[in-house]
Amino acid sequence: MFDQYKRIRIGELAVALESEGGDAAYISHAHSDHASYGKKAEKIICSEETAVLIGSSKERLNLENAKLLDAGHMLGSTQLSAQVEGGKFVYTGDFKLEAGITTKGAEMPKECDYLLIEGTYGEPGAVFPKREEVFAQMQKWVMQNKEKTIVFGAYETGKAQEMIGFLNKYCGVAPVVSKKIDDVCKIYGKFGVKLERVRAGTHEAEEMCMGGGFTAVLPVREANEGLCRKLSGVYGKEALCALATGWGYKRSFSAGKVFCLSDHADFNGIIEYVNGANPKKIYCTHGNEKTLARELRARGFDAAPLVKKEEGGVQTTLEMAPKGVAVQCSAQCGQR
Ligand SMILES: [Zn+2]
Ligand SMILES: [Zn+2]
């Protein structure tokens, strides 16, 4: 299946799946832990949205024996479905089955013999409430605190836009957003996802802030108690901060309030996907790959974590190489 770690052959082409080397790199979406592999590659395979979001001018390949399926994770996120030796191969990238405000849900592949699946939340405890339920909780909280200043911390690409969409749709609020978040919103707009917001630093934003309580969507690193104290000092209104992240199910954060909103499938979503795709062989990657593979085996699937051999970089499964080193998903990943 893999001729090297995370590299497959599609026809004559060696395609690196968000890894190094190969004739072309497949980039599932614009988050940096995935997209960074597109920088070194000469040619890339990704959606047009992803190419624009990562600012890539590399040649974008359109393969005859491969297609991109929606992944439901953020604007332009895709799964790769390809004809390889021995059958149909699918790589999910980061995915989410439920539709969001700024995304459709992930498409279920019609045919899938070999599956490479992400396991960010691939452990049985990682179960989130339904998205609509989380939106309802957030709406209630925003409405209760409408007179105050509210700061939502969100990863700047993807999650921030979903939060702005939520505030527009559920609360009738156009939040103040950081410049970087606003720049990403402009790209969303070009692809038909309209988001009402006010760019920080503009006259309009300053007026909103001076006018009493306001709502803002800022990068996670900025949305903390320190900022809230500053904001209440400057604008004279109590300020609250909140974070929307899947990790809310088990970690605590310095932000005051945490809502369990994720752009990844939770454990049940992963199992639902695997049951739907019904592959002959499954490789797990990007997060809890060992736990997920064990859970899938317990459900009767032939599953193994995709690991890198310490030397040589040749892909093997855990069973074949007990000393294999799993490549961990960055800790930030789940915040998206
Ligand atoms: Zn991601
Ligand atoms: Zn990721």
The rounded Cα 85 to chain-centroid distance in angstroms is 29
Determine the distance separating the centroid of ligand 2 and the alpha carbon of 31, expressed in angstroms: 7
Determine the distance separating the centroid of ligand 2 and the alpha carbon of 98, expressed in angstroms: 17
Name the residue among 121, 135, 126, 123 with its Cα closest to residue 167: 135
Q: What is the DSSP string of 292-311?
A: HHHHHHHTT--EEEEEE-TT
Determine the distance separating the centroid of ligand 1 and the alpha carbon of 145, expressed in angstroms: 30
Find the mean pLDDT for residues 264-285.
Answer: 97
Give the position of tokens 């059958």.
87
Determine the distance separating the centroid of ligand 2 and the alpha carbon of 38, expressed in angstroms: 14
E strand map for 94-238 = 114-118, 149-153, 176-177, 198-199, 215-218
CA of 330, nearest ligand number: 2
Find the mean pLDDT for residues 243-258.
Answer: 79
N- to C-terminal Cα distance for the chain? 30
CA of 286, nearest ligand number: 2
Find the mean pLDDT for residues 181-191.
Answer: 98
Which two three-digit tokens encode residue 95?
């995915």
Find the mean pLDDT for residues 216-221.
Answer: 94
Determine the distance separating the centroid of ligand 2 and the alpha carbon of 131, expressed in angstroms: 19
How many residues in the chain?
336
CA of 31, nearest ligand number: 1
Which two three-digit tokens encode residue 271?
């199992």
Q: Between helices 225-235 and 203-210, what is the axis angle to 10°? A: 80
% of the chain residues with pLDDT over 70: 90
Find the mean pLDDT for residues 50-69.
Answer: 96
Average pLDDT taken over every residue of the chain = 90
Determine the distance separating the centroid of ligand 2 and the alpha carbon of 286, expressed in angstroms: 7
Determine the distance separating the centroid of ligand 1 and the alpha carbon of 329, expressed in angstroms: 10
Q: How far apart are CA 26 and CA 81, in angstroms?
A: 11
Q: Residue 212's pLDDT is what? A: 82
Determine the distance separating the centroid of ligand 1 and the alpha carbon of 301, expressed in angstroms: 25
Q: How far apart are CA 136 and CA 259, in angstroms?
A: 11
Find the mean pLDDT for residues 66-79.
Answer: 98
Q: 113: pLDDT confidence band, cut at 50, 70 and 90?
A: very high
Q: How far apart are CA 34 and CA 66, in angstroms?
A: 19
Determine the distance separating the centroid of ligand 2 and the alpha carbon of 143, expressed in angstroms: 32
Domains and CATH numbers, the chain: 2-126+264-335 (3.60.15.10), 131-259 (3.40.50.12650)
Asked if the model's pLDDT at residue 251 lies above 80, the reply is no
Asked if the model's pLDDT at residue 145 lies above 80, the reply is yes
**Exposed, middle or buried by CB within 10 Å (0-12, 13-18, 19+), for 311?**
exposed
CA of 262, nearest ligand number: 1
Quote the radius of gyration of the chain (alpha carbons, Å): 21
Find the mean pLDDT for residues 61-80.
Answer: 97
Name the residue among 188, 251, 179, 184 with its Cα closest to residue 216: 179
CA of 96, nearest ligand number: 1
Asked if the model's pLDDT at residue 36 lies above 70, the reply is yes
CA of 155, nearest ligand number: 1
Determine the distance separating the centroid of ligand 2 and the alpha carbon of 141, expressed in angstroms: 29
CA of 263, nearest ligand number: 1
